């Protein structure tokens, strides 16, 4: 366990090492060297990987590095470094997280299919279906085919691939982290654009997957690019905190004594905040100087109930600050994070933040979905498995069946990621909804039909307007047209109402209501929309066959062969279902695979 790692260290930020360490490293390496090659760039990667997974196969890492190096040879990064330094760094980030060999192989090869002549088929042949799936999941769609939609389509494709294998997202996040760390060669405008895009989708995704070790580093590098002055000020503050270490040692010693008195076996460690989190609290509180409370983590060596015993010991030692206690064990966050939080008035009347958790909780709070890869011991552990994050991912994927438009999918994803969640109870089950949700959101969560036919609701036993905002813990009952005991006035309107769109919060409800009205008012769609929808439909159908198109040429040829005046007319036919997308795609694949 590495509680002390704090900011950045968990992922081996590339800080220059002291000379002595380098010397020992080299001596050790030549002592252990089985390849007899001291400059082997895969050595560090292999060593990191083997330290966590001792029986891992280093040969396949070497083989995938060799292919990646060969394929990228001659390519340079904007910084002037050889391209291969990038996939190697991405694999290193994955190794530091404790990911498995397959992830590292895919990370080394992640840009080959997109940027070199290496094909997905060749990759599949050389490294098997798992690596091929992972690399394909992070490969961008061609701008030539998807035009402006390429970016949104790429994100959707990645999410779909992650639904089958969440390691896709881990590689993508590591990729972005390294790209963000090497943005200095870019113009300020493109740095800001990339940082904003990262903040927009990838950081919230990382948060939802619970990989705090990675999210801290992403947060900080985003802050560095978007708020360079604030970053510098916080950096200055963190480097010069007089008496800080002595103070924390005193807190630690007193906390340990208090815990021992209460017979709680626990480890106490200083737990510094990362830069972004200091910045956020500083801005939120309107402080003139960086606002940064000393913080400790208490990791109890025992069952969950020991956390509360530890809390009692800490509160017995120092007076808790009212309103600052949070129990994320009884009510976990939506990303598997579990912990007790409290703030106490510590020695000298200074405020100190305290986190209390078990070792298992700590592992999950650091590594989220990556935990079972890092610590295979948890793979068996159903209670602690990463299932929750994957349930969320599966739900996100449910929308994509209802959205033909990638931009709309992305908007929904963004909205879902940004929202705080509430839990409400209905029909004996708990449901997670974005905060600010209404009974209509809940009705659509119960199913599209239940939503469309929703008439009335009670909240905690009382009849309430459908637009009422639900609160955490509310017990809700939904009444719909098909419930026998609801008496309908003969002229009462049926189906969803347009005004619902004014208050629903969840993506699910928005999509379903839009779908209902789209089906009713088809003539409203413009030709341009139909072309776009036709194109997206073909894209989706191609993906069902695990295929994509690198250019529009085959599409244009097919349109010609089928007797359409141009490609656009064929796409409209697909949108209107005068032409079956499955048939089009079959013919397309035949055309590409057998060009004559
Ligand atoms: Mn890359």
Judge whether residue 180 has pLDDT over 90.
yes
Domain edge (last residue) among 475, 494, 518? 518
Here the CATH number for the domain that contains residue 468 is: 3.10.20.30
In terms of domains, do 67 and 208 share one? yes
Here the CATH number for the domain that contains residue 300 is: 3.30.460.10
Q: What are 433's two structure tokens?
A: 């909804």
Share the mean pLDDT of the chain. Answer: 83
**Contact present, 73 and 114 (Cβ < 8 Å):** no
Mean pLDDT of 357-381: 89
CA gyration radius for the chain? 27
43 or 565: which leads in pLDDT: 43
Q: What angle do CA 367, 373, 374 make, to 5 degrees?
A: 60
**Contact present, 209 and 169 (Cβ < 8 Å):** yes
**Which of 30-39, 224-233, 304-313 is predicted with the least confidence, judged by mean pLDDT?**
30-39
Span between the terminal Cα atoms of the chain, in Å: 61
Report pTM.
0.69
The 10s digit of each residue's pLDDT in 388-411 is 566 667 766 766 656 667 777 777
Judge whether residue 422 has pLDDT over 80.
no
Judge whether residue 119 has pLDDT over 60.
yes
Domain edge (last residue) among 206, 226, 246? 226
In terms of domains, do 534 and 514 share one? no
In terms of domains, do 259 and 203 share one? no
Split at pLDDT 50, 70, 90, the class of 115 is very high
Judge whether residue 7 has pLDDT over 60.
no
Distance, CA of 552 to CA of 507 (rounded, Å): 32
Mean pLDDT of 327-350: 87
The 10s digit of each residue's pLDDT in 521-540 is 655 566 777 788 888 888 87
Judge whether residue 11 has pLDDT over 60.
no
**Sign of the C-alpha dihedral computed for residues 526, 530, 531 and 536 taken in this order:** positive
Here the CATH number for the domain that contains residue 107 is: 1.10.3210.10
The 10s digit of each residue's pLDDT in 50-78 is 999 999 999 999 999 999 999 999 999 98
* Cα–chain center distance at 352: 30
Split at pLDDT 50, 70, 90, the class of 32 is very low
In terms of domains, do 362 and 404 share one? no
In a domain, 144, yes or no: yes
Label each residue of 263-307 as H, E or C.
CCCEEEEECCCCHHHHHHHHHHCCCCCCCCCCEEEEEECCCCHHH
Structure confidence at residue 145 (pLDDT): 65
Measure 81 CA to ligand 1 centroid, in angstroms. 14
Measure 55 CA to ligand 1 centroid, in angstroms. 28
Structure confidence at residue 434 (pLDDT): 79
Q: Which helix (H) or strand (E) holds 434?
A: strand 429-434
In a domain, 12, yes or no: no
Number of domains in the chain: 4
Measure 167 CA to ligand 1 centroid, in angstroms. 15
Helix, strand, or coil here: 216?
Answer: helix
Burial 169-191 (b: 16+ CB within 10 A, else e): bbbbbbbbbbbbbbbeebeeeeb
Measure 52 CA to ligand 1 centroid, in angstroms. 24
In a domain, 4, yes or no: no
CA–CA distance from 145 to each of 153, 388, 458, 465 (Å)? 11, 36, 50, 47
143 or 184: which leads in pLDDT: 184
Given the structure tokens 């940082």, which residue do they identify?
195
Structure confidence at residue 86 (pLDDT): 97
* Cα–chain center distance at 269: 28
Give percent of the chain with pLDDT exceeding 70.
84
Structure confidence at residue 519 (pLDDT): 73
Helix, strand, or coil here: 97?
Answer: helix
In terms of domains, do 206 and 279 share one? no
Measure 404 CA to ligand 1 centroid, in angstroms. 28
Measure 386 CA to ligand 1 centroid, in angstroms. 26
Measure 120 CA to ligand 1 centroid, in angstroms. 16
In a domain, 384, yes or no: no
Judge whether residue 137 has pLDDT over 80.
yes
Catalytic option among 114, 359, 402, 432: 114
Range of the domain at 534: 527-593
Q: Which helix (H) or strand (E) holds 191?
A: helix 188-197
In terms of domains, do 57 and 172 share one? yes
The 10s digit of each residue's pLDDT in 193-206 is 889 888 888 898 89
> What residue spans of 545-580 are helical by DSSP H?
553-561, 567-575
Measure 401 CA to ligand 1 centroid, in angstroms. 28
In terms of domains, do 148 and 208 share one? yes
Q: Is 419 a catalytic residue?
A: no
Catalytic option among 40, 57, 69, 115: 115
Domain edge (last residue) among 369, 401, 424? 369
Give percent of the chain with pLDDT exceeding 90.
44
Burial (0-12, 13-18, 19+ Cβ within 10 Å), 32:
exposed
In terms of domains, do 179 and 277 share one? no
Structure confidence at residue 103 (pLDDT): 98
In a domain, 400, yes or no: yes
Structure confidence at residue 6 (pLDDT): 38
Measure 103 CA to ligand 1 centroid, in angstroms. 14
CA–CA distance from 472 to each of 389, 429, 467, 500 (Å)? 20, 14, 16, 21
In a domain, 160, yes or no: yes
Mean pLDDT of 448-460: 89
In terms of domains, do 217 and 258 share one? no
In a domain, 31, yes or no: yes
In terms of domains, do 161 and 251 share one? no
**Contact present, 340 and 355 (Cβ < 8 Å):** yes
Q: Is 115 a catalytic residue?
A: yes
In a domain, 353, yes or no: yes
In terms of domains, do 542 and 514 share one? no
Structure confidence at residue 389 (pLDDT): 60
Residue 25: CB atoms within 10 Å: 14
Judge whether residue 33 has pLDDT over 60.
no
395 or 79: which leads in pLDDT: 79
Q: Which helix (H) or strand (E) holds 311?
A: helix 305-317
Measure 110 CA to ligand 1 centroid, in angstroms. 6
Measure 69 CA to ligand 1 centroid, in angstroms. 14
Measure 111 CA to ligand 1 centroid, in angstroms. 5
Judge whether residue 556 has pLDDT over 70.
yes
In terms of domains, do 303 and 412 share one? no
């Amino acid at each position: 366990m590495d509680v002390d790692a704090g900011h950045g260290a968990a992922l081996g930020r590339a800080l220059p090492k002291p000379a002595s360490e380098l010397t020992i490293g080299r001596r050790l390496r030549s002592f252990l060297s089985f390849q007899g090659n001291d400059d082997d760039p895969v050595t560090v990667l292999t060593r990191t990987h083997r330290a966590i997974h001792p029986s891992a196969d280093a040969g396949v890492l070497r083989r995938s590095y060799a292919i990646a190096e060969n394929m990228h040879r001659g390519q340079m990064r904007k910084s002037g470094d050889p391209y291969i330094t990038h996939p190697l760094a991405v694999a290193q980030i994955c190794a530091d997280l404790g990911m498995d060999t397959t992830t590292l192989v895919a990370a080394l090869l992640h840009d080959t299919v997109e940027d070199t002549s290496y094909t997905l088929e060749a990759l599949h042949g050389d490294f098997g279906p798992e690596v091929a799936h992972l690399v394909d999941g992070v490969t961008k769609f061609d701008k030539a085919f998807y035009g402006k939609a390429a970016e949104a389509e790429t994100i959707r494709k990645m999410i779909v691939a992650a639904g089958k294998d969440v390691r896709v997202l881990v590689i993508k996040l590591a990729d972005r982290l390294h790209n963000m760390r090497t943005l200095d060669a870019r113009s300020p405008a493109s740095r800001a654009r990339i940082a904003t895009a990262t903040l927009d989708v990838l950081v919230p995704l990382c948060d939802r997957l619970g990989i705090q070790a990675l999210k801290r580093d992403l947060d900080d590098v985003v802050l560095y690019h978007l708020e360079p002055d604030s970053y510098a000020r916080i950096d200055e503050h963190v480097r010069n905190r007089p008496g800080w270490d002595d103070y924390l040692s005193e807190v630690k010693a007193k906390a340990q004594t208090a815990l021992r008195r209460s017979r709680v076996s626990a480890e106490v460690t200083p737990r510094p905040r990362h830069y972004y989190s200091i910045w956020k609290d500083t801005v939120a509180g309107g402080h003139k100087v960086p606002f940064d409370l000393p913080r400790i983590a208490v990791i109890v060596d025992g069952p969950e109930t020991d956390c509360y015993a530890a809390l009692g010991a800490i509160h017995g030692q120092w007076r808790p600050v009212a309103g600052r206690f949070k129990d994320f064990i009884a009510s976990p966050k939506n990303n598997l994070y579990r912990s007790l939080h409290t703030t106490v008035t510590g020695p000298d009347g200074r405020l100190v933040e305290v986190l209390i958790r078990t070792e298992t909780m700590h592992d999950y709070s650091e590594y989220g979905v990556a935990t079972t890869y890092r610590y295979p011991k948890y793979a068996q552990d159903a209670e602690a498995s990463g299932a929750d994050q994957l349930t969320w991912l599966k739900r996100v994927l449910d929308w994509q069946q209802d959205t033909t438009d990638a931009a709309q999918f992305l908007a929904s994803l963004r909205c879902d990621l940004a929202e705080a969640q509430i839990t409400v109870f209905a029909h004996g089950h708990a449901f997670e909804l974005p905060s600010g949700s209404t009974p209509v959101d809940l009705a659509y969560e119960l199913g599209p039909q239940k939503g469309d036919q929703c008439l009335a609701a009670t909240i905690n036993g009382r009849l309430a307007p459908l637009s009422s905002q639900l609160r955490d813990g509310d017990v809700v009952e939904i009444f719909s047209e098909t419930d026998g005991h609801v008496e309908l006035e003969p002229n009462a309107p049926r189906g969803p109402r347009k005004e619902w769109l004014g208050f629903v919060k969840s993506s699910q409800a928005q999509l379903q209501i839009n779908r209902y009205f789209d089906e009713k008012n088809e003539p409203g769609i413009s030709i341009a929309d139909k072309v776009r929808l036709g194109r997206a439909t073909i894209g989706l159908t191609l993906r069902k066959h695990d295929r994509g198109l690198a250019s529009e040429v085959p599409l244009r040829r097919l349109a010609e062969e089928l007797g359409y005046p141009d490609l656009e007319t064929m796409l409209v036919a697909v949108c209107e279902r005068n032409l079956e997308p499955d048939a089009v795609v079959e013919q397309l694949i035949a055309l590409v695979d057998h060009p004559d």
